[in-house]
Chains A and B, each alone.
Chain A
């Protein structure tokens, strides 16, 4: 019952956060000294055309009126039309979003599973080979820039070895049936297993590049947290019961050690979304990150705002989920 009111409280807070993000993004895109009309028409358009264009796009109204128009549109599920393609921004985002979500989910799963396993082994076998290996692996993950490592891995696994594709979501000679927009999900629904495994193959490198630094952070936190927990009194109690070491570690230590790790998973997810912009560019991934980058280059205001709002929305939802998970794992958080 406490969990229910906790969720409602967090949800209403989330609405406020999204609203704030909306206003900030809107204002920032309007005050940067660049003119989208100039970007569309080119520098040599006659002034009448420029004015007509400006009026057509609603850019001649005061900024406050523009904001009200925009907010009004959002409540009706309308994020405006792209200044470049005139397509509704919502339609575009719905097309690009699934690819990003797919990549982000696979990266966070990769990072959480590998990070926790490495951190756990590292702590349990402290100063042994696996510990040294995991610590070197983590240091590299935190210090190597993803775009560089991405190119190196493409060089090795695509160019030299030919084991993995260099980019894209699936091979271009495949024509998957689309229902939800999520490639793997659609392929599984329609039983198109060739597409499914092709999609998996395409996911491997981007997942690794996007998830590597999160894996490293999670492994480091997990190791420190596990070492701390293993010295707690209740672990001594568990050993005094005569429980085998494996049970002491997995039943008593693991759950306690996960508490600080859960906190950083939410934060890492934020980093993952911003990292997606670069990773998607390197791997020609048709996702939201690449959409936002392209919109920035053409000063496509509604597209930039719309994309940013969705990123903020995803981030808030994930952090809400993390907080709920936190309360579920740690009974002390519920009271």
Chain B
């Protein structure tokens, strides 16, 4: 067992496959990333590189025909990969909450939004009560005085209203609306209110602004920024926009075709990118004031049913070497950098035993 790397979340060697009629899609091929309490980690990469699958795996929400085939997801002191469904349900929503790309579709169309938030608060209260009871050794509902439930419900409604005001919505107008009556930005605010209502330790945000108007994107990011700063909530931000990650995050994990190819602090990723893919990705970001042609990475994202042997990036890599299609490069610390930058890369150019 290797050394524990992050005290909140440590994903190592995570493999996920999807069994389809066309063949087995090897969606995650040994993902490595970690974070401490209160940190913000951005996961960046192209569409289909496995960002969202990674996020859903951490929630253990991968559905049939997908399944986790290897690796571990240490969350605080537990490996989420090994936990049974009922224990996971006590962690989901309570310790780890999630917001999604399309906020309107992520809300139940036939339930008022206030009720959906209250449901989350009540659910976390119940699982907390049952955890407490199981620690004491008694049943969860034992000797509960009559009327308690009603009082709790009222306080849940109060929390819901506070949360709605907190995310900049007028609760009197919003709580009785249905999702189709909300704009995308309002719906994402509702989702954020719901996710943060249980004071999670980790918030997973899966492209929270990609489906929104550009002006709304900035508002939502600023809101998220100020809310998680207040509560010191750790955030795992999934995004395809390098700029968003740079603004928001402390650390970045760059993913390519099911692997984290480079990981490190914002500083090292932007100032000293090592992996050829990261370099290519940064060149593909337009910069104000520069008029030279925007560079793109030649080639296309590989088919994950039959991915390239060895390093999955090698067919597109300008620095390709003979060993690149033979074996998968190890994910190793980069040489000569401060440990606080956590700079790691998976590329034969930097392999240490050569």
Residues of A at the B interface (CB closer than 8 Å) are 232-234, 236-245, 251-252, 255-256, 259, 329-332, 335
Contacts and interface: CB of A to CB of B under 8 A. Distances in A.
A330 B108 CA distance: 11
Interface in B96-123: 97-98, 100, 102, 105-111, 119-120, 123
A251 B97 CA distance: 20
Interface stretch (B85-93, B247-255, B267-275): B85-93
Contacts of A237: 98, 100, 106-108, 191
Given A236-B61, A237-B100, A331-B178, A242 B106 contact: no
Q: Across chains A and B, which 4 residue pairs bring their CB atoms closest together, nearest first?
A: A242-B92, A242-B93, A241-B93, A233-B105
28 contacts: A232-B105, A233-B105, A233-B106, A234-B105, A234-B109, A236-B61, A236-B100, A236-B106, A237-B191, A240-B59, A240-B61, A240-B93, A241-B92, A241-B123, A241-B194, A242-B90, A242-B93, A242-B94, A242-B123, A244-B86, A244-B89, A252-B108, A256-B109, A259-B110, A330-B110, A332-B180, A335-B180, A335-B181
A239 B108 CA distance: 12
A166 B277 CA distance: 79
Residue of B105, B110, B123 with most chain A CB atoms under a 10 A cut-off: B110
Interface string B139-151: 0000000000000
Contact of B110 (A241, A329, A335): A329
Nearest to B179: A234
Contacts of B98: 237, 240
A234 B124 CA distance: 18
Given A233-B100, A240-B93, A242-B93, A256 B88 contact: no
Nearest to B89: A242
A259 to B, nearest CB: 8
Nearest to B92: A242
A110 to B, nearest CB: 26
Contacts of B36: none
Contacts of A238: 108
A243 to B, nearest CB: 6
A243 B123 CA distance: 7
B351 interface: no
Contacts of B91: 242
B12 interface: no
A97 B203 CA distance: 62
Contacts of A255: 110
Interface in B170-211: 178, 180-181, 191, 194
A90 to B, nearest CB: 43
B108 A256 contact: yes
Given A233-B102, A331-B178, A331-B180, A241 B120 contact: yes
A259 B111 CA distance: 14
B61 A242 contact: no
Contacts of A331: 109-110, 178, 180
Nearest to A334: B178
B217 interface: no
B165 interface: no
B69 interface: no
Contacts of A329: 110
Residue of A243, A332, A335 with most chain B CB atoms under a 10 A cut-off: A243
Contact of B108 (A234, A240, A245, A335): A234
Given A234-B109, A330-B110, A241 B119 contact: yes
Contacts of A335: 180-181
Contacts of A332: 109, 178, 180
Interface string B220-235: 0000000000000000
A245 B89 CA distance: 9
Contacts of A245: 85
Contacts of A252: 108, 111
A258 to B, nearest CB: 9
B328 interface: no
A244 B94 CA distance: 13
B109 A240 contact: no
B180 A234 contact: no
A123 to B, nearest CB: 13
A170 to B, nearest CB: 43
A332 B178 CA distance: 8
Given A244-B86, A332-B109, 10 more contacts: A233-B106, A234-B107, A237-B100, A240-B61, A241-B92, A242-B93, A256-B109, A259-B110, A331-B180, A335-B180
A252 B115 CA distance: 12
Residue of A251, A329, A331, A332 with most chain B CB atoms under a 10 A cut-off: A331
Contacts of A241: 92-93, 119-120, 123, 194
A263 to B, nearest CB: 15
Nearest to B98: A240
Contacts of B100: 233, 236-237
Nearest to A255: B110
Nearest to B64: A126
Residue of A240, A329, A331 with most chain B CB atoms under a 10 A cut-off: A240
